[in-house]
Amino acid sequence: MNIVLLGPPGAGKGTQSKRLAERLGVPHISTGDLLRKNVTEGTGLGREAKSYMDKGLLVPDELVTRMLTGRFEQKDVRSGFILDGYPRNTAQAKTLEGILSGPGLDIDMAVYLDTSEEVIVQRLSGRLVCSKCGANYHSTNMPPKKEMVCDACSAALYQRADDKEETIRRRLEVYNNESAPVIDYYSAKGILKRLAADGEAMAVLDKIIDLVREEDDSFKIQK
Ligand code: AMP
């Protein structure tokens, strides 16, 4: 099944996408993770993207499209995927259809994680990310066993530069102006599922899995 997760920064798209991808046995494709990898590796694309990311602005569509087109050329996406952080405006939603038409794919379901502003700010300001495997933690909601160390791979955790208060505010503005219309785009296509996502991460994941089962009860879901 090909699923897009939508919602503001802090809605839990990254956390839910990673877990959902594991349960469904399909790849998790996050444009934010792919961009951060390019920045860390110092590629030309990463150098161009960094200044936008640091300011909490969207990276120009052309750069993200190039990166995502490359990712969808890999064969693993043919058995399904969870897309996280893309599309972030309606132009990207249309571009995505073009990218997917190459390998003959389509989006089956867009899940909108509906989250209150209070929860968003609380989640983002406490978010910690593993510098090696990208696992997400939260200083109070989901702390690692050992302070600032990843449970999964023992690498150091860090706070994302764009999770500082001022940048969070900018990202929310960008989301409201540019990304929120994507919800209507998928609603008009009849594939949008809205889900209240203020609750605890595992409870939200269970609700997403229920949606997947409603859509396709033959889908094999790992425990
Ligand atoms: P995320 O990890 O999804 O919160 O993304 C972090 C940052 O990467 C965003 O604030 C943008 O600067 C950039 N970014 C991620 N995905 C996209 C996208 N689809 N289009 C443009 N910029 C993006």
Per residue in 85-129, pLDDT (tens digit) is 999 999 999 999 999 998 899 999 999 999 998 899 899 999 999
Dihedral (CA of 18, 81, 59, 168) sign: negative
Determine the 3-state secondary structure of 223 from DSSP: coil
Domains of the chain: 2-116+173-215 (3.40.50.300)
Ligand 1, closest atom to CA 33?
Answer: 2
Percent of the chain with pLDDT over 90: 87
Please state the atom number of ligand 1 nearest to the C-alpha of residue 31.
16
Question: Which residue in 3, 11, 67 sits closest to 179, CA to CA?
Answer: 11
Is pTM beyond 0.85 here? Answer: yes
The 10 Å Cβ neighbour count of residue 8 is: 24
Tokens of 111: 């899940």
Cα 213 to Cα 48: distance, rounded to the nearest angstrom: 41
Instruction: Answer whether 153's CB lies under 8 Å from 145's CB.
Output: no
Instruction: Please tell me the predicted confidence (pLDDT) of residue 131.
Output: 92
Catalytic residue among 36, 71, 88, 123: 88
- The alpha carbon of 161 and the centre of ligand 1 are apart by a number of angstroms equal to 13
Selected catalytic residue, list 13, 18, 36, 123: 13
136-157 pLDDT tens trace: 999 998 999 999 999 999 999 9
Tell me, what's the pLDDT at 208?
97
Residue 218: its pLDDT value, please? 74
